[in-house]
Structures are given as C-alpha cells and as structure tokens.
Amino acid sequence: MKQMEFARYTELGFKKLDNDSFNKVIASSQLLVGNLAKDYYEFHDIQKDLNSDDDFIKFRANQFQKAICVQCEFADDLGASSLVEQQKAGITDVQIGRTHLQQSSNPVNAVTYGKSGVYLPAYELLVHTGLLYRGVDSH
C-alpha cells in the first residue's frame, strides 16, 4: 500500500527531489519507515487518518509521511534507491524482518537509528506519535 505520493511530498513543503528521483527512493524509504512503525499504515488507512477530526490522529499521519519524505531525501543523498544500494553507500547494519544486511563500519551509521537504516531525523519525527511503542497492550 502506498502511503506517500510525489504530490503529497511537495504539499508537505519538501522540494529537494524531482518526481523521478522521488520514484527511485520511495519504495525502500517507505519500507524502512513502515518497518520502524510496525507497519501500522499497512493495516490502517492513512487517508482516513489524514482526514480525521481528531488532531492527534491527523498529527500522527502527517508525521509518518514527513518521516518518509526525510528518509527519501536521505536515500537520494546516499545515491541509493534500494536497500542494498543503501548498504553499499555506507549503512552498516539494516534488518527488516528476517533480512539482515551488514557491512564494515562507516560514518553513515552514526546518522541512522540503531539497525533500522532509518535516518535519525526521520526517526525523531515519529517519536511522539505512538507508532514506535513496543509495549504490551493491556485491557
């Protein structure tokens, strides 16, 4: 499910990438950010959240899309349109599900969150959304 389109990228105020550059990096960027957020928007309608009357729900969806935009620009800066290219560009350790890529150390690792491959500013956009919560729901 696509959570971000180029028109939305520009609507959010991002201008660095053109449509072709955006299309090269969107799939891997969406995958990395989505994985970090436990694939929340694979199971929930982001458009419904963006149009919600609840300000927090709207905020969460906007922050998620902004995180994808920031990740797209980071991937473009690396010259990496796929996870493997990001690995070769310097991300030293990326894990998505059972897939794990590891390479010798590189300074790019210092600007990514843990082993996720997600750029720290993208991660920080998600911190206060609840999408990173790893606790157990209790009723």
Tens digits of residue pLDDT in 43-65:
999 999 999 999 999 999 999 99
Predicted confidence band at 126 (pLDDT cuts at 50, 70, 90)?
very high
Could you tell me the pTM of the whole model? Answer: 0.81
Distance from chain centroid for Cα 102 = 19
Q: Say which residues have a Cβ less than 8 Å from residue 1's Cβ, sequence separation at least 6.
A: 41, 42
- In angstroms, the CA 132 to CA 109 distance is 20
Predicted confidence band at 105 (pLDDT cuts at 50, 70, 90)?
low
Q: Is pLDDT larger for residue 44 or for residue 133?
A: 44
Task: Map residue 119 onto helix, strand or coil.
Answer: strand
> Residue 108's pLDDT is what?
64
Distance from chain centroid for Cα 17 = 16
